[in-house]
Amino acid sequence: MKTYSTQNIRNVVLLGSTRSGKTTLAEAMLYEGKVIDRKGTVEAKNTVSDNTEYEQANQKSVFATPVYTEFMDTKFNIIDAPGSDDFVGGAISAFKVVETGILLVNAQQGVEVGTQIFERYAEEYKVPIILGVNQLDGEKANWENTLETIKAAFGKNKPIIIQFPVNPGLGFDGFIDVLKMKYYHFVDDNGKREDKEIPAELMDEAEELRQALIEKAAEYDDTLMEKFFEQGELSEDEIRKGLGIGIRQGDCYPIFCLSAKKSIGVKRLMEFTIKVAAAPSERKIYTKDDKEIPCDESGKTAIFIYKTAVEQHLGEVAYFKVNSGVVTLGQDLENAATGDKERLSSLYAVAGKKKEAVQELRAGDIGCTVKLRAAKTNVTLSAPGSDIIYKDIVFPASKFRCAIKAADQKDEEKLGDALNKIMAEDPTIIVEYAKELKQTILQGQGEQHINFVKWRLLNENKVAVETFAPKISYRETITKVATAQYRHKKQSGGAGQFGEVHLLVEPIVEGVETTARFKIDGKEQVLNVKGKEEMDLPWGGKFEFYNCVVGGAIDASFMPAIKKGLMQKLEEGPLTGSYARDIRVFVYDGKMHPVDSKEIAFIIAGRNAFKEAFRIAGPKIMEPIYNVNVMTPADYMGACMSDLQNRRAIIEGMGTDRGFSVLKARVPQAELYKYSTTLSSLTSGSATFTMEFADYQPVPADVQDKLLKAYQDEDSDE
């Protein structure tokens, strides 16, 4: 393969809902560029991009697979992104390294929730969009309905028709291109076409749409607008120029007609992308310190690793984009963040599993290398001394969490190693050991995502696992003032242990300072504060510790021991063993022994005094609450709301967003286990949601009673 300059490279990501035909389009684009001589199909399990066992068995993409093709003296780097929201991390990674997104809309379904999800992400990452209405050869293809859903979803002003179909449905065999003002008629299933004059009965529609196209193009350039007002016409090149500006600004979504399966419209889509879409040099790339570095072949060499994978026969593969300069085989680069040096002992252009060895890749190109020592996703490698570190990819928050353990306990270490490797390949998978819950927690984007991890563990790593509902990170606190005292006395021959602590607890309320005035043993007292310590607890909330002991009842040297005992009980709350928070403790009296008082005695006395005071201070269990936003077709709004209310949700708002209904609610985390699965079932897979931690709130009394009983039963079992 020849080396391509920056201006002769186009990087695109194929986006769309599941079954919108992205993989089939990638196959057709590779066929048009003669990279393959025969198109594979998803059904036959022989496509270039869906090349893993899991993808072929399930007939859907789970990885964002890079492929390339060569067309019109241009190298197309194409990333075929998964259509399921559960595997959205692949699309997010791709947004970092492409200049254009081709968003497919299934002509048999119209715009789906998944379509909107990817459009929103593209908007967020400032990736311009070209719309491809695919599967116009489908039995239920409906061009007019699809256009209506596009306008409803993206607004009436953004979409602009470049082509409209002739005979949509099973007889679909061509389209009218209003930019070229030609009728493209296709005579076989491999993209062979005849260029014809527009039929008379379609000319009025074509001229009307061309006029709209010209007006749209003129909007973005004053010179074009002036010419349009003077002459009422723009040339094909001038229309492309105006549209190019609008596309780059994210204000214009040109619409193309496709049957990827029959290669109808694929060539024209590629031609348009070459002539109108941005080259790599036109996209701004920033370092972590917000410095813009041009994508220029003459600059210092710098590559950004956007994806890593472990592949059979190759080992660890690092996929990267050359953001600056020229990368050559055998070149030494540096990780400026760590100072580590890496040698590129291999260099490949990528077409799925096929890796074509190359000698160099220029700025803007995408490729891969193998067996780097320490380079992972989000790592920048650059010429030594250049100190370039690009901004990281920011992945979406998890929407599904479960506890995981090896089915056979002796496989726990093997499980940990395997999960670490999966995390390195997929940053949207998060694994952590929760000390307070004593569980390994696995988080992902949905149950499909988690099931795929389980499949990989069993089939690739030979580790059988069990997943189950995780424990909830409850918090314990108090609601009123209470006092308690505890004497620890132990005598066993020789020196004994003695320590007595009297303390008072009160809740910390945001914005309310303590008066240190309390009723103790029926008498009003103002405690004399001799020492005060405040701390933000690692698990959230605050703790304040006051030394109010007078007259030397407890020596100051024992105060750290008392505090240590309190901290032990804060880490394992008296009610359910959960972390305690937002508590103020005053140690105001006690006793010690000149011989037997030791640190351990005051640790135990402080811990037990706190435990007793806590139990009579109006103890309350707090639960984590999440803000949940659901986007659903209006038909399912009632079912979604009813389900949320059954989950103890508080509905905070309802609205609409570009044709879909939106529900905003606050939901306890305890009620969100497998919510993504339920929502999919309720809405036939047409709804989606986001969730974000909000705060902690007291659990209802009946829930608290159940939690206390469950903890007591567990305690007695142990």
Stretch 613-623: mean pLDDT:
97
Residues in the chain: 718
CA distance 709 to 712: 5
- The Cα 168–Cα 183 span in angstroms is 14
CA 62/CA 699 separation, integer angstroms: 39
What's the pLDDT at 716? 52
| SS3 per-residue string spanning 477-526 | ECCCCEEEEEEEEECCCCCCEEEEEEEEEEECCCCCCCCCEEEECCEEEE
With a cut of 70, say whether residue 335 has pLDDT above it. yes
Tokens of 291: 């410095």
* Contacts (Cβ under 8 Å, ≥6 apart) of 510: none
Cβ atoms 258, 266 nearer than 8 A: yes
Query: Does 419 have pLDDT greater than 80?
Result: yes
Q: What is the pLDDT of residues 88-122, one digit of tens each?
A: 999 999 999 999 999 999 999 999 988 988 998 99
Percent of the chain beyond pLDDT 90? 87
Q: Decide the pairing of beta strands 475-477 and 579-580.
A: parallel
Q: Which of 670, 676, 674 shows the shortest CA–CA distance to 697? A: 670
pLDDT at 572 over 50: yes
Q: For 260, what's the count of Cα atoms within 13 Å in the CB-facing half-sphere? A: 26
The C-alpha atoms of residue 632 and residue 612 are separated, in whole angstroms, by 50
**What pLDDT is recorded for position 436?**
87
Homologous superfamily (CATH) of 400-468 is Elongation Factor G (Translational Gtpase), domain 3 (3.30.70.870)
Inform me whether the pLDDT recorded for 21 exceeds 60. yes
Q: At what angle do helices 266-276 and 22-32 cross, to 10 degrees?
A: 80
**Is 459 in contact with 452 (CB distance < 8 Å)?**
no
| The CATH number of domain 624-703, selected from 3.30.70.240, 3.40.640.10, 3.10.180.10, 3.40.47.10 | 3.30.70.240
Q: How far is CA 481 from CA 422, 516, 523, 563, in A?
A: 49, 11, 14, 19
Amino acid at 514: T
Three-state secondary structure call for residue 563: helix
Give Rg (Cα) of the chain. 32
Flag whether pLDDT at 717 surpasses 60: no
Q: What are phi and psi of 185, to 5 degrees?
A: -110, 130
Q: Are 342 and 334 in contact (CB under 8 A)?
A: yes
Rounded to the nearest angstrom, the gap between the alpha carbon of residue 310 and the centroid of all alpha carbons in its chain is 21
CATH 3.60.20.10 for domain 302-382, yes or no, is: no
**What is the structure's pLDDT at 493?**
66
Question: 495-519: buried (b, 16+ CB within 10 Å) or exposed (e) per residue?
Answer: eebbbbbbbbbbbbeeeeebebebe
Cβ contacts of 427 within 8 Å, gap of 6 or more: 89, 377, 378, 393, 395
Map residue 458 onto helix, strand or coil.
helix
pLDDT at 154: 92
Q: Which CATH architecture does the domain made up of 6-198+240-282 adopt?
A: 3-Layer(aba) Sandwich (3.40)
**Extents of the domains making up the chain:** 6-198+240-282, 302-382, 400-468, 476-618, 624-703
pLDDT in the model for residue 712: 82
Sign, CA dihedral 224-229-230-236, equals: positive
Over residues 292-301, the pLDDT tens digits come to 999 999 999 9
> Taking the model in full, what pTM does it have?
0.87
Confidence of residue 603 (pLDDT cuts 50, 70, 90): very high
Q: What is the pLDDT of residues 234-259, one digit of tens each?
A: 999 999 999 999 999 999 999 999 99
Taking 70 as the threshold, does the pLDDT of residue 51 lie above it? yes
Establish whether domains 302-382 and 400-468 are of one fold: no
Phi, psi at 419, each rounded to 5°: -65, -35
Q: What is the pLDDT of residues 432-453, one digit of tens each?
A: 999 889 999 999 999 999 999 9
Q: Tell me the mean pLDDT in the region 361-384.
A: 95
Angle between helices 599-615 and 559-571 (to 10 degrees): 50
Average pLDDT, the chain: 94
Closest by CA to 275, choosing from 156, 185, 179, is: 179
pLDDT at 660: 83
Q: b/e map of 315-334 (b: 16 or more CB within 10 Å)?
A: ebbbbbbbbbbbbebebebb
Architecture of domain 476-618: 2-Layer Sandwich (3.30)
